Amino acid sequence: MVEWLAFVLLAVIAVGGSLGMLLTMSMYRAAIFLMASFVALAGLFILLQADLLAAIQVMMNVGGMLVMLLFMVALMMDPGGEMMWDMKRKMGLPGFSALSMSMPRSPPPAEAARPEDRPRTGGSNTDWTCPMHPEVSAPGPGSCPKCSMDLAPRAALQPEAAPAADTDTDTYACPMHPEVQSSAPGQCPKCGMNLVPREAAQEPSATTYTCPMHPDVQSPTPGKCPKCGMDLVLQAELQAPAPAATTYTCPMHPEVQSSTPGKCPKCSMDLVPQEDPQAVAGPTAYTCPMHPEVRSSTPGKCPKCSMDLVPDESAAPMAGHAGMQHGGEGGMHHGGDGAMPRMSPAAHYKMMVDMAMSTALLPWAIAIGVVSALLLSWVLLRATWPLSPTGPNADDVSVVGELLLSRYMIGFEGAAYLILAGVIGAVLLGKREHRR
Amino acid sequence: MSGPPLQAYLLLGAVLFGVGLFGVFSQRGAVMILMSIEIILNAALLNLVAFWRFSAPAEYGAQVFFIVMTTIGAIEMAVGLAIVLMGFRNRGSQYVDRFMDMRG
């Protein structure tokens, strides 16, 4: 009876720990959940009278999960989940706060209509050319297809005569890469196809991707900006807000305001456009995060604990209130507490995608897991397994050790040599990379 | 033997395997996928120990097999983490959906 009770308890912890690891948003909790699951498995080994294996299971797996946790802290922006928790709370997202977020189900919002007289972003900087071959025109840096020299911005080479290549009526463009344009026929530097003449300049298609920091970088496919490594975003999404006074703000830190897109200095999240042109004045009061009674009209340090003063969110509610008058196109559920900036639906979608911990194929994953568990249990349970009438002999405590030291020693010698080779290889490769 | 029968442990192993498979397919982070693979490995090892206990308790080579498999699991984690780290250096994120395009 006791064994049944222990089995059920340990089984619940094992399965619950594994599920909890997959559903929580905090990586620390995920590692601890998995440790609990493995320790429960060790308890099951003790129930099965394999005590040595239980000890080995605990030692190997708890240490291994600690290493996993270390890697997650190193590779993730928000390992503890505070940012996600904060965001879920502020934005009033439904669901239990501690659960991780899944990919948004709805498809990305349709791109906002672009203004007809949208000014060409970047002007002459969008045209990179070869110093030797001025007829070569490319939207970004690269190599000249004729002489392999590095391309330079046309404005740098010819400050006065910097024609926007797409306003020429005898422009030649590549059928595959419409952003590649040249005033003379030739080959496309990307694919080698012959350039064909076009009557009128074409706006970049709806599937043009550009870098938020470098608008002259354009590409028909998503990827990374060759200048700064940032992700390319749909050009329409960047230009949807009013070009005049677009402020960019961090979804987590609304007091961070910037007139250019980039990354939040506090949390390195992408700044999103704020659809509120009135919120450019910035906060007027600063307070200490630890001592809210400390107030100052200028940023500085708290006299009590020397922490940096942060803008007081309660002093800048006009941003949120003014933003709420612009209608519900931000896609937020309750409007929050006024401190969250309004975001365009595209930016909101992008943020949700960034914060998601599970893929969009979550229902498929659930189906695969359930079906495989059912299939496996059916296969295992329908067979009649040969059962031994006696249990393990209690006197055979040292048999495993003797086996390890005698018959199976060769395996551990091999493993030791492999580990040695791996360590030496890692050191050598590390030295080589460091030198490079 | 008054405790749970062999089938109970096999069922638990199957359920854990399903949970691990769900984790492998649903998670975006590469480290989370590696941890789900650990769950799958441990489910299989639970099956191994249960079969040792109920079908051949005199054959202690099965326990050595368990030790070797656990060691292999740890080495596999190390290699997997090395791959994840190099991938992170190249594209700046551990999320596997960034690995969509193959670049030279």
Question: Out of A49, A368, A399, whose CB is closest to B25?
Answer: A368
Cα distances (Å, whole numbers) of residue B49 to B64, B67, B85: 11, 11, 33
Which residue in chain A is spatially nearest to B75 when comparing CA positions?
A419
Token match 């709370």: residue?
A89
Question: Out of A376, A391, A418, whose CB is closest to B17?
Answer: A376
How many angstroms separate the CA of residue B94 from the nearest CA in chain A?
6
Given a contact cutoff of 8 angstroms between Cβ atoms, the answer to whether B96 and B28 are in contact is yes
**Whether B51 and A376 lie within 8 Å, measured CB to CB:** no
Indicate if the pLDDT at residue B42 is higher than 80. Answer: yes
How many angstroms separate the CA of residue A93 from the nearest CA in chain B?
21
Report, as ranges of residue numbers, the positions in chain A whose pLDDT lies below 50.
112-125, 159-168, 200-204, 240-244, 277-281, 315-339
Each residue's pLDDT tens digit, A293-304: 777 777 777 777
What is the share, in percent, of chain A residues with pLDDT greater than 90? 18
Helix A51-75 to helix B61-91 angle (10° resolution) is: 0
Indicate if the pLDDT at residue B67 is higher than 60. Answer: yes
Q: What are the chain B neighbours of A44 within 8 Å (beta carbons)?
A: 9, 12, 46
**Whether B10 and A381 lie within 8 Å, measured CB to CB:** yes
pLDDT of the residue at A43: 97
Give this complex's ipTM: 0.94
Residue of A228, A377, A396 to mutate when probing chain B, most B C-beta within 10 A: A377
Q: What are the chain B neighbours of A419 within 8 Å (beta carbons)?
A: 75
Given a contact cutoff of 8 angstroms between Cβ atoms, the answer to whether A229 and B92 are in contact is yes
CA distance A29 to A81: 9
What's the pTM? Answer: 0.58
Chain A contact for B61 (CB, 8 A cutoff): yes
Chain A contact for B90 (CB, 8 A cutoff): no
pLDDT of the residue at A121: 41
Indicate if the pLDDT at residue B33 is higher than 70. Answer: yes
**Whether B70 and A362 lie within 8 Å, measured CB to CB:** no
Q: What is the mean pLDDT of residues B59-77?
A: 91
Indicate if the pLDDT at residue B17 is higher than 90. Answer: yes
Half-sphere exposure of A29 (CA within 13 A, CB side): 16
CA distance A58 to A24: 23
**Whether B18 and A369 lie within 8 Å, measured CB to CB:** yes
How many angstroms separate the CA of residue A132 from the nearest CA in chain B?
28
pLDDT of the residue at B5: 93
3-class state of residue A408 by DSSP:
coil
Token match 């007091």: residue?
A255
pLDDT of the residue at A260: 74
Residue of B6, B10, B15 to mutate when probing chain A, most A C-beta within 10 A: B15
Sequence-distant (≥ 6) Cβ neighbours of residue A159 within 8 angstroms: none
Of A192 and B6, the one with more pLDDT: B6
CA distance A70 to A28: 9
CA distance A187 to A166: 17
3-class state of residue A376 by DSSP:
helix
Q: Where are the alpha helices (DSSP H) in A24-81?
A: 27-47, 51-75
**Whether A357 and B28 lie within 8 Å, measured CB to CB:** yes
Question: Out of A44, A386, A411, whose CB is closest to B46?
Answer: A44
Of A3 and B1, the one with more pLDDT: A3
Sequence-distant (≥ 6) Cβ neighbours of residue B35 within 8 angstroms: A21, A30, A31, A34, A65, A68, B23
> What burial letters (b/e) apply to A19-37, b meaning 16+ CB within 10 Å?
bbbbbbbbbebbbbbbbbb
Q: What is the mean pLDDT of residues B18-41?
A: 94
Question: Out of B11, B32, B94, whose CB is closest to A377?
Answer: B11
Q: Which helix (H) or strand (E) holds A295?
A: strand A295-296
pLDDT of the residue at A12: 97
